[in-house]
Structure 1
Amino acid sequence: MVLSDLEICKPTSSSHNKVGSISRSGRDLPPAHYLFKIESYSELMNTGVEKYETNVFQAGGYKWRLILYPSGNIKSNGNGYVSLYLAIADTEKLSSGWEVDVNFKLFVFNQKNNNYLTIQDADGTVRKFQEMKTEWGFEQLISLETLLDSSNGYHVEDSCLFGAEVFVISRSGKWESLSMVKEPPHGTFTWKIGKFSTLEETYYHSKSFTVGERDWNLRVYPRGIESERGKGLSVYLQLTDCERFPAKRTVYAKFKLGILDQLNNKYHERTDSHWFRASGNIWGFKKLVALSELYEAAKGYIKDDTVIVEVQILVMSIAKIST
C-alpha cells in the first residue's frame, strides 16, 4: 500500500456539512493546490485505520492538511461513505483570536473520464476556521459503493486520487464609491473676457476652478476653432488635473455653456455631457454662437468690449477611493 501527497503549484461540519448543502459537479482542470493519491485503497481500509492525515501544504498564506476517513466518519453520519476534511495546520504559530475565512473545494479524480468530481458547498458558503473550529469538510463526500465500483472510474487498480483547492478571503480594506451628484456645490463659473476686440491668440484659458474635487477651466476660441474659423465662437469645458488620475479613470459631467445677453441679462445656453479622461479631457461647442450674432449689437453679447461666458455643471460623477 502506497500513500503519496502531491502538491500542485499551478496546473495548464461534524465540523462538517449537511448532505443537502453539498454541490457535486465535474471539471477537467486539476485542483489548484493539492493532490493526494492512495494506492491499494482496499488495504488501507483493511488496516482498520479511522482516519489518515496528509502532509502539510500551503495555500493563501496558511498551512493546511487533508483528513481522510477511508471507511467514513462513523461518528458524524459518514457510515457507508468516504469522509474528507480540510484542516488548518500549525495553528500554534497564529496570533491569539485568529480567524481565517475560506471558500474551498474537494475533489475525487475520475480515472475513466479523466476529470474531477468537484465537491463544495452548494450555496458558496464561506467557512470560518478558528481556534474552536479547525476543520471543515464533507462526511458524505462520495459513497463507498460508488467509489469502489471500478466501472465508475474513481477506483481503478485499487488506487484513488483526491484533491483540494483553498481560497482564503483576505479583507484588504480597499473600497471605492461612485456618486452621481446633481448640482454639485460651486458648480457655476463665470468668466468675463475683457478687451475682446483686441484678442489675437487662437484660444484663451480662464483661471482654474474646482468642482467635486476636480480642477477645471474654460477654453474660448474668439474667432472659432479651426473647423469653424471665422464662423462661430467656440467654447469648451476642460478637465485640467488628469495627470493625477489612475489609468482609465473617468469623470462624467453634464453641463451647460452659455454666453450672456448683457442687454437682457439672459444667457444663450447649450447643454451637453461627456466622460472626461486623460485622452479626452475637453468637451464643448464648436459654435456656441455664430460670430455674425456675436458682433450684432442688438444681441447684447458684447458690451464695453467684454464677453461673459458661463458654465454650470448640472451632474457630475464623484469617485472616492480608500487609501
Structure 2
Amino acid sequence: MYKRHLPPAHYSLKIQSFSLLSTSNADKYESGVFEAGGYNWRLSLYPNGDKDNNGLGYISLYLSIEETNKLPHGWEVDVNYKLFVYDKIRDTYLTIQDGDGAVRSFHDLKTQWGFSQFLSLETFKEASNGYLVGDSCIFGAEVFVIKSTGKWESLTMIKDPPNKTFTWKMQSFSKLDQSIYYSDAFTVGESRCYLVIKTFLPREKVYRECNLRVLDQLNDTHKERKNCHWVTGSENSWGFPDFMSLEDLHKPSKGFIYNDVLIVEVQFLVVSAVKVVGV
C-alpha cells in the first residue's frame, strides 16, 4: 500500500452520491467493461463491504475478467494488477497491490481477484483523508497481463577452451605500413575471433579471460598481460592501448622483433558461450 500522483493507467470509476449507493438495495456496483492487455475486465465495488468474505465495515473492491466465453478451452491469464482510490485533497492515489506485486492467475475456476477489506469505511469516510469529498469518490485499476515470449538465454563459462592458444607471426614487420592489421580468423569456444594490431571492431556479448603476449624470440622473456573483459554491444574488442612501449618493441636485445618477424600470441583461459532461444 502506497500513494502516488500518477492516475490509474487503464480505468477510473467515479461515483457521485456515494451515500445513496450505500443505502440502496444493491450490495455491489459493477463497472463497465474495459480492455487491458488484450482482455476485458470489470471492477466490482461493495460500498458496505462483501459480507460473505469478511468485508463488513470495509469497502470491498474486486477485478473480474469478462467475456470468458470467447477465450479458448483451458484458458489462463496471469496478471499483475493494482487497485486505487483517489485522495482529492492531496491529489494522490492510494495504491493497493495484491501480495506485494504477486502475479495472480485468472481461469475458469477463479475469474475474480481483489480485496474484501480494501479500505475501512471509517478511514474512507473521514473527511481529512480526502477519499470521499462532496459525497463523490474515484476508484481505479491497472492490469498488466504477463505473456511469455518463449525467449530465454543460457550462459556457459568454459575454462581452458579447445584451441585456446593462437599465435600470429607477422613477417617483414618493418615494412608494414597500414594503421590496422587483422590476423586470420580463429575459433575459441563458439566465438569467431581475430587478433588486431592497433584498433578494434563492434558486436556480440561474450566473456574473455586471456593472456596476451608478444614473444621474446631470443630469451623467452615474453611480454605478457592478462585481460578479463565482457564484450557487449558496440564494444566488442579489448586489449591494451599501452601494452608495451615502441622503444622496448624495437630494442634488439629484447628479442621481440627478430629477423624482421614479430610474433603475437593469445591464450584463452575462460570464455563464455551464450545460447539464445526464441529470437
Contact 2:84 2:140 in 1 (8 A): yes
Equivalent residue number for residue 85 of structure 1:
62
- Give the whole-Å Cα distance in 2 for the aligned partners of 1:142 and 1:214: 58
More displaced 10-residue stretch of structure 1: 137-146 or 204-213 = 204-213
Deviation at 1:122?
4.0
Match of 1:226 in 2: none
SS of residue matched to 2:265? strand
Distance 1:189 1:36, change over 3 A: same
> Cα 1:197–1:107, aligned 2, differ >3 Å: closer, same or farther?
closer
Counterpart residue number, 2:239: 283
Moved more, 96-105 or 143-152: 143-152
Q: Which residue number corresponds to residue 18 of structure 2?
A: 41
What are the superposed Cα offsets for residues 240-259 of structure 1, whole Å, 9 maximum, x if unpaired?
6x3xx3xxx55442322334
CA contact (8 A) 2:249 2:256 kept: no
Q: Is the 8 A contact 2:209 2:268 kept in 1?
A: yes
2:177 corresponds in structure 1 to: 201
Task: Indicate the residue corresponding to 1:120 in structure 2.
Answer: 97
- Is 1:271 the counterpart of 2:225? The answer is yes
- Matches of residues 213-232 of structure 1 in structure 2 within 5 Å? 213-220=190-197
Structure 2 equivalent of residue 165 of structure 1: 142
Percent of aligned pairs with the same amino acid: 49
Equivalent residue runs for 1:51-200 within 5 Å: 51-194=28-171, 196=172, 199-200=175-176
Shift of 1:279: 4.9
Distance 1:147 1:102, change over 3 A: same
- Is the 1:259–1:267 contact (alpha carbons within 8 Å) kept by the matching residues of 2? no
CA contact (8 A) 1:216 1:239 kept: no
Which residue is equivalent to 1:310?
Answer: 265
The TM-score with structure 1 as length reference comes to 0.73
Equivalent-residue separation in structure 2 for 1:112 and 1:299 (angstroms): 81
Distance 1:287 1:135, change over 3 A: same
CA spacing shift, 1:181–1:114, aligned 2, 3 Å: same
C-alpha contact 1:258 1:267 (8 A) present in aligned 2? no
2:208 partner letter: A
Q: Give the Cα separation in 2 of the matches to 1:310 and 1:252.
A: 18
SS state of the match for residue 201, structure 1?
coil
One-letter amino acid of the structure 2 residue matched with residue 148 of structure 1 = K
Whichever residue aligns with residue 213 of structure 1, its letter is E
- With normalisation by structure 2, the TM-score equals 0.84
CA distance 1:288–1:182, change in 2 (3 Å): farther
Q: What 5-or-longer segments of structure 1 have no aligned partner?
A: 1-23, 221-235
How big is the alpha-carbon RMSD for the aligned residues of Structure 1 and Structure 2?
Answer: 2.9
Structure-2 separation of matches of 1:198 and 1:27: 69
Q: Using a 3 Å threshold, how does the CA distance of structure 1 residues 197 and 160 change in structure 2: closer, same or farther?
A: closer
Aligned length: 273
Question: Does residue 211 of the first structure (1) align with residue 180 of the second (2)?
Answer: no
1:210 CA drift (Å): 1.5
Q: Any gaps of 5 or more consecutive residues in structure 2? A: none
